[in-house]
A and B are shown apart, each in its own frame.
Chain A
Amino acid sequence: MNKKLLIYVVFIISAVLFSGCEATYARYATKGSEFPKMYEQQPRSILILPPMNESTDAEAKDYYMTTIEMPFALMGYYTFPSEMVSEIMKQEGVYDTEILYNMPLDKFYDYFGADTVLFTHIKKWDLSYAVLASKLTIQIEAKIVSTKTSEELWKYTGTVVVDLSGQNSGGGIAGLIAGAIVTAVNSAAADYVEYAHMANRRIIYSLPTGPYHEMYMKDQNVRIVDQTPRK
């Protein structure tokens, strides 16, 4: 009986471990091995630039912009207020994200005193239709670059795929039509911001923590999913 109990406990513990929070088939690395320059340069602040929208949704840029600041601040960095920064840049005559993304990086230090700049690319923010299903994909690539050395210190990508057809659980043709209407309404509102937050969560956990976090300079051994392509 004791042995049975033991097996049972071992089984549950391994189930807990394997279910985890992350994808099952993934290679792992550590924050320290993936992003050593974050630990060497120890930046304190991040200037969040408006996102570069490479998706088909024109509104994605404005909406995604509202989600970036909080996760990076909560990881212990000083984050410059993104909306205000964007307004100030416009007053300085820089309206175009493309121009902003190609500016010499030391300018961001001169003007704002920022240690690093955060570039975000909205790779996908798209709804794809099929006969019976529609699928939403949000993919964000984020990159932190030093304003002093122009080196890339950290880069990570987060992807969220949502099956929106799951919303019509009601069966039959009526359910199908209702589902189609729901999808159309959803896509018109482009209200995908909650999934953008989810994509951010899949990105941010890989970032070494900053000086305002208790784990600062102590999280080199934290495991993350290795996104570096295998040679």
Chain B
Amino acid sequence: MNKKTTLVSLSIGLIVFTLSGCNGQPKPLYTYGDYSESYYNSKKNVSKESALKLQKSIEYAIENADKSRSKRVAPGMYANLGYMYLLDGESAKAIESFNKEKIIYPESTRFMDRMIHKVEVAQGNNNE
């Protein structure tokens, strides 16, 4: 009877191990929230609403970055947000976001500097 119990518990343990095997993962490296779904949706149904939803998803991912394994905002998130601000004509907020991307990911420096330069040139033209 004892052996049978051992056998049963051993089997259950192994089954649990097997099932967890392929799916069980540690915390993801970054928080994405529903970014992927919103991005896809913004392509599938091009509209103001879907674009706004995408922006909301990006903001959520940024705000909840500390819940991820790296506690860092995912690559490209601040750049994306900055680009959205830029399209909305919010130059100062755009530059601020591009700078944040650069601070977290120095790999983006050249690209972000180029974007910041673009915004500044456009601003200069508007002020003249």
Q: Which residues of A contact B (CB under 8 A)?
A: 1, 5, 8-9, 12-13, 16, 19, 21, 44-45, 62-63, 65-67, 69-70, 73-74, 76-84, 87, 111-115, 193, 197, 212-213
Contacts and interface: CB of A to CB of B under 8 A. Distances in A.
A63 B45 CA distance: 11
A82 to B, nearest CB: 8
Given A62-B43, A83-B39, A83-B80, A16 B29 contact: no
B25 to A, nearest CB: 10
25 contacts: A8-B7, A12-B14, A13-B14, A16-B17, A44-B107, A45-B108, A62-B43, A63-B43, A63-B44, A73-B76, A74-B28, A78-B108, A79-B75, A81-B75, A81-B76, A81-B77, A81-B83, A83-B80, A84-B76, A111-B111, A112-B111, A112-B114, A113-B109, A212-B29, A212-B75
B58 to A, nearest CB: 10
**How big is chain B's contact interface, by range?**
35 or more
Nearest to B74: A73
A81 B80 contact: yes
B10 interface: yes
Given A8-B7, A63-B40, A79 B18 contact: no
B105 A65 contact: no
Chain B, interface SS category: helix
A90 to B, nearest CB: 13
Contacts of B77: 81
